[in-house]
């Protein structure tokens, strides 16, 4: 008997599995719409100019790499707070937000999950149905029972808002509710401000704990518009969690730049919460890495680079929107008679296309167009060159 004889093979990550299948496909016209990555009009992962310029600035004055503080670069945490909560906002002036640098948005979620588990070990976690596939695993792994609240309404091509509210109303006090702040992954359907107001009221009335996952700020309507839900939660006076990811908005996927912010009732509680977040970090990976957060801090706090970033982010956002419109037009031109206008109402990188698993499999095997079996396609991977073939393929399986 060897030490690892009883170890079972873990199931493959479905999206990475799809990538492997894509890489092995010899079809020269293949298109990968499976991954959650923004590609530019040439099908390339962009290196943003603001990032390259910040890196050039950093290289011109190279620094030794000591350990960072456990909660990361102070200027980075401050820049994150100002972006998420608004520079000069009352909650920041009152020192009521604890923010720590994290290993991407995933890291922010995990620090929050570990802290919450210590705070309220019996709490359940509710995630949307469907949700980013790692939400369930991450909170499970932190020791929570994870259940879902209704979200996607396939027949309505939208959100089952009544069902969502009913589930929140039925949840026990202390239940952690994971909410997508904007650009819902995977469906692309976001709540309206009026619907958010009802969610905020319900969270407050039922004593729930809101955990806002903000992985796509700036990819929906704009930086402020996408962050508006944070202002709604602030106005409610609730304590809540926000995880931030810069993977997409800075195209810095591999640098693992994110954060966790916890809004507390008083400055004193904030200091205590921060001390506990630091213990979670210290006992997991001690302290975060330097490079990516320094890039983001430099860009966000240097006015010219900040403007460049906002312009480049707007460029990505508008290109995605243009691709949504072009896809709908091309599908109509290819003879699709179903109403597909919902694709242009969806926000962010993804579209729940409404295609069945069987149709998605046909897209792969017959046309080399790779999306997820749930029907999710990454519209941020479309460009003028691959779009006609994608539309033809989708039209063929829709007929
Ligand atoms: N939350 C959601 C909703 C996401 O879609 C993603 C990334 N796809 C993340 C969190 C994780 O982001 P990161 O890569 O920065 O860890």
Give the pLDDT band (50/70/90) at residue 214: very high
Residue 152 has pLDDT above 90, yes or no: yes
Per-residue pLDDT tens digits for 12-66: 887 888 999 999 999 998 999 998 999 999 999 999 999 999 999 999 999 999 9
Distances 117 to 175, 177, 178 between C-alpha atoms, Å: 11, 14, 14
Q: Identify whether the C-beta of residue 264 lies closer than 8 Å to the C-beta of residue 97.
A: yes
Residue 314 has pLDDT above 90, yes or no: yes
Buried b (16+ CB within 10 A) or exposed e, 107-130: bbbbbbbbbbbeeeeebbbbbbbb
Distance from the Cα of residue 342 to its chain's centroid: 21
Distances 21 to 18, 27, 114 between C-alpha atoms, Å: 5, 11, 34
pLDDT confidence of residue 35 = 87
Per-residue pLDDT tens digits for 330-372: 999 999 999 999 999 999 999 999 999 999 999 999 999 999 9
State in Å: Cα 3 to ligand 1 middle: 35
Distances 155 to 168, 192, 195, 230 between C-alpha atoms, Å: 22, 19, 19, 30
Any atom of ligand 1 within 6 Å of the Cβ of 213: yes
Any atom of ligand 1 within 6 Å of the Cβ of 104: yes
Residue 11's Cβ-count burial label (10 Å; 0-12, 13-18, 19+) is exposed
pLDDT confidence of residue 353 = 94
Give the pLDDT band (50/70/90) at residue 11: confident
pLDDT confidence of residue 323 = 97
Residue 399 has pLDDT above 90, yes or no: no
What residues contact residue 15 under an 8 Å CB cut-off, 6+ apart?
Answer: 34, 35, 36, 133, 372
At residue 61, what are phi and psi to the nearest 5 degrees? -140, 70
* Residue from 98, 112, 123, 119 nearest 206 by CA: 123
Give the pLDDT band (50/70/90) at residue 215: very high
pLDDT confidence of residue 16 = 80
Give the pLDDT band (50/70/90) at residue 67: very high
Query: Which of these is catalytic: 132, 190, 226, 309?
Result: 132
Q: Identify whether the C-beta of residue 273 lies closer than 8 Å to the C-beta of residue 261.
A: no
Distance from the Cα of residue 308 to its chain's centroid: 22
Which pTM does this prediction carry? Answer: 0.97
Which atom of ligand 1 lies nearest, measured to the CA of 258? 15
As a whole number of angstroms, the distance between CA 239 and CA 334 comes to 50
Any atom of ligand 1 within 6 Å of the Cβ of 245: yes
Which atom of ligand 1 lies nearest, measured to the CA of 36? 8
Nearest CA to ligand 1 atom 2: 215
248 catalytic? Reply is yes
Any atom of ligand 1 within 6 Å of the Cβ of 247: yes
* Residue from 184, 182, 288, 45 nearest 297 by CA: 288
Per-residue pLDDT tens digits for 288-298: 999 999 999 99
Q: What is the ipTM of this complex?
A: 0.99
As a whole number of angstroms, the distance between CA 344 and CA 352 comes to 11
Residue 271 has pLDDT above 90, yes or no: yes
As a whole number of angstroms, the distance between CA 244 and CA 266 comes to 22
pLDDT confidence of residue 378 = 97
Distance from the Cα of residue 141 to its chain's centroid: 19
pLDDT confidence of residue 368 = 97
Query: Percentage of the chain surpassing pLDDT 70?
Result: 100
At residue 391, what are phi and psi to the nearest 5 degrees? -65, -40
196 catalytic? Reply is no
């Amino acid at each position: 008997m060897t030490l690892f004889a009883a170890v079972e093979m873990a199931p493959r990550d479905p999206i990475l599995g799809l990538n492997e299948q894509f890489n092995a496909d010899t079809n020269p016209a293949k298109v990968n719409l499976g991954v959650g990555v923004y590609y530019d009009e040439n099908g390339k992962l962009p290196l943003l100019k603001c990032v390259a310029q910040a890196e050039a600035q950093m290289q011109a004055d190279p620094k030794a790499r000591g350990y960072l503080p456990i909660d990361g670069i102070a200027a980075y945490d401050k820049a994150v707070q100002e972006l998420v909560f608004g520079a000069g906002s009352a909650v920041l002036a009152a020192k009521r937000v604890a923010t720590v640098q994290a290993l991407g948005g995933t890291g922010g979620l995990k620090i929050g999950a570990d802290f919450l588990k210590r705070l309220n070990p019996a709490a359940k976690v509710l995630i949307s149905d469907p949700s980013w596939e790692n939400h369930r695993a991450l909170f499970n792994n932190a020791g929570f029972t994870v259940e879902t609240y209704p979200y996607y309404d396939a027949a309505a091509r939208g959100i089952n808002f009544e069902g969502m509210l009913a589930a929140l109303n039925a949840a026990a006090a202390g239940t952690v509710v994971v909410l997508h702040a904007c650009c819902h992954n995977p469906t692309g359907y976001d709540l309206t401000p009026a619907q958010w107001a009802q969610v905020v009221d319900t969270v407050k009335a039922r004593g729930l704990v809101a955990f806002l996952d903000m992985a796509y700020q700036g990819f929906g309507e704009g930086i402020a518009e996408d962050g508006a839900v944070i202002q709604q939660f602030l106005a409610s006076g609730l304590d809540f969690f926000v995880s931030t990811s810069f993977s997409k908005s800075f195209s810095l996927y591999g640098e693992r730049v994110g954060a966790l912010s916890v809004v507390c009732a008083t400055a004193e509680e904030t200091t205590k919460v921060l001390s506990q977040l630091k213990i979670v970090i210290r006992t997991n990976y001690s302290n975060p890495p330097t490079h990516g957060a320094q890039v983001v801090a430099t860009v966000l706090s240097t006015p010219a680079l900040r403007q460049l970033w906002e312009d480049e982010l707007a460029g990505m956002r508008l290109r995605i929107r243009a691709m949504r419109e072009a896809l709908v037009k091309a599908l109509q031109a290819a003879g699709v008679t179903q109403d597909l206008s919902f694709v242009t109402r969806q926000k962010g990188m993804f579209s729940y296309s409404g295609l069945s698993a069987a149709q998605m499999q046909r897209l792969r095997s017959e046309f080399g167009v790779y999306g997820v079996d749930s029907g999710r396609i990454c519209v941020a991977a479309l460009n003028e060159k691959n779009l006609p073939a994608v539309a033809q393929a989708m039209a063929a399986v829709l007929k």
